[in-house]
Amino acid sequence: MLTLGILGSGSGSNMQAILDAITVGTLQAKIAIVLSDNPKALILKRAASHGIPHAVIDCEGHKNKFPDYVQIETAEKLKQAGVDLVCLAGFMRLVKAPLLDAFPSKILNIHPSLLPAFPGVAAWAQAVEAKAKETGVTVHVVDSGMDTGLVILQEKLDILPAETADALHKRIQVIEHRIYPMAISQYAHSLNL
Ligand code: GRF
């Protein structure tokens, strides 16, 4: 059975969507562990309420960095939980060599734009600010760059006239919740996981 580990820093709505897809059987997998660098993140509460093992990745004292020693500990936790595929879901730190080497080509991310357009934070707000006509959602393999890895699945979305960044993000999230479980399933099959 495909065994997932999820890393997130925020609300965990994508983690919930993955769990819902597992529950209805459109994604054949289990979530073995949920990890967050933010002790107060809702994603941890969601994991707890579903009885999913969860833990804090302690990055205290490192504002935006994901220090190597913490990445090594994270990789160990994921391996101990038997994880074959790691899914970033709103995880706000850049993953580098220690974790990438432990899971080569086996870390996915969901990004709220049509990459390579608008990498980085709050991509929906960047799109509105740039007066873009369209944006979308990308699921990609994580490499050492910021939102630069191999694209697995993308879906476009027209930006409505005078649409606010918040309203756009809500519509983007509807797409995210539908395509992330699909992309995970497709990618896992392609790797025979
Ligand atoms: C999503 O929009 C995702 O694309 C971005 O961060 C947000 C996380 O949302 N990387 P959630 O925590 O899954 O609700």
What structural domains and CATH numbers belong to the chain?
A: 2-190 (3.40.50.170)
Q: Evaluate if residue 19 carries a pLDDT over 90.
A: yes
- The predicted pLDDT at position 89 comes to 97
Query: What is this structure's pTM?
Result: 0.96
Q: Evaluate if residue 61 carries a pLDDT over 90.
A: no
Categorise residue 88: left if φ over 0, alpha if ψ from -120 to 50, beta otherwise.
beta
Q: Evaluate if residue 117 carries a pLDDT over 90.
A: yes
- The predicted pLDDT at position 127 comes to 98
Confidence of residue 60 (pLDDT cuts 50, 70, 90): confident
Considering only CA atoms, which of 21, 33, 142, 46 is closest in space to residue 82?
A: 33
Tell how far the Cα of 9 is from the centroid of ligand 1, in angstroms: 9
Query: Average pLDDT for residues 23-27, to the nearest whole number?
Result: 97
- The predicted pLDDT at position 91 comes to 96
Question: Is 111 part of the annotated catalytic residue set?
Answer: yes
Q: Cα separation of 132 and 80, whole Å?
A: 44
Tell how far the Cα of 154 is from the centroid of ligand 1, in angstroms: 15
Pick the atom of ligand 1 nearest to 173's CA: 2
Pick the atom of ligand 1 nearest to 172's CA: 2
Question: pLDDT per residue over 83-116, tens digit each?
Answer: 999 999 999 999 999 999 999 999 999 999 999 9
Residue of 111, 140, 177, 189 marked active site: 111
Confidence of residue 62 (pLDDT cuts 50, 70, 90): confident
CA-closest residue to ligand 1 atom 14? 13
Q: Evaluate if residue 148 carries a pLDDT over 90.
A: yes
Considering only CA atoms, which of 16, 96, 26 is closest in space to residue 50?
A: 16
CA-closest residue to ligand 1 atom 10? 90
